[in-house]
Amino acid sequence: MTRSRSSAKQAGTAFEQLVADGLAKELGNPDIDRAPRKGSKDIGDVANVRHASGARVAIEAKDYGGKLEPTTWTREASVEADNYQALCGVVVAKRRGTRRFEDQWVLMTAGEFVKLLRGS
């Protein structure tokens, strides 16, 4: 069965909330929540995620029915990291067959991964 635009938006919204709630719980930060939409200056889907150094991390959440589009998504996360003046951009992608936060995929380029590990 294919998704309608409406059902896809609902799935995306629910997944963004799953990611925000999961990060808030795991990081002990109740300020982590879904980010407001900013149009062409989008900052990602989840706000207030920070590296241990205090630097922002841009989070892009994707629920595409189990399909992965890493090139497009990591490019989008990088642009959003720039818009957010964040350390790096990370994609959290829905893993088919599970709704548990800790089972989802995390995608990023090696360059973004190095930034995250270095904290700069």
**What CATH number has the domain bearing residue 47?**
3.40.1350
Taking residues 14-32, what's their average pLDDT?
97
In the block, tokens 């241990």 appear at 52
Q: Structural domain of residue 69, as residue ranges?
A: 5-118
pLDDT tens for 71-106 read 999 999 999 999 999 999 999 999 999 999 999 999
How far is Cα 11 from Cα 16, in angstroms, rounded to an integer?
A: 9
What pTM does this model have?
0.91
User: How far is Cα of residue 65 from the mean position of the Cα atoms in its chain?
Assistant: 16
Query: How many structural domains are present in the chain?
Result: 1
Taking residues 7-36, what's their average pLDDT?
94
> What average pLDDT is seen over the chain?
93
pLDDT tens for 67-79 read 899 999 999 999 9
The residues, any chain, with a CB within 8 Å of residue 46's CB and separated by 6 or more, are 16, 19, 20, 23, 32, 33, 34, 35, 59, 61, 92
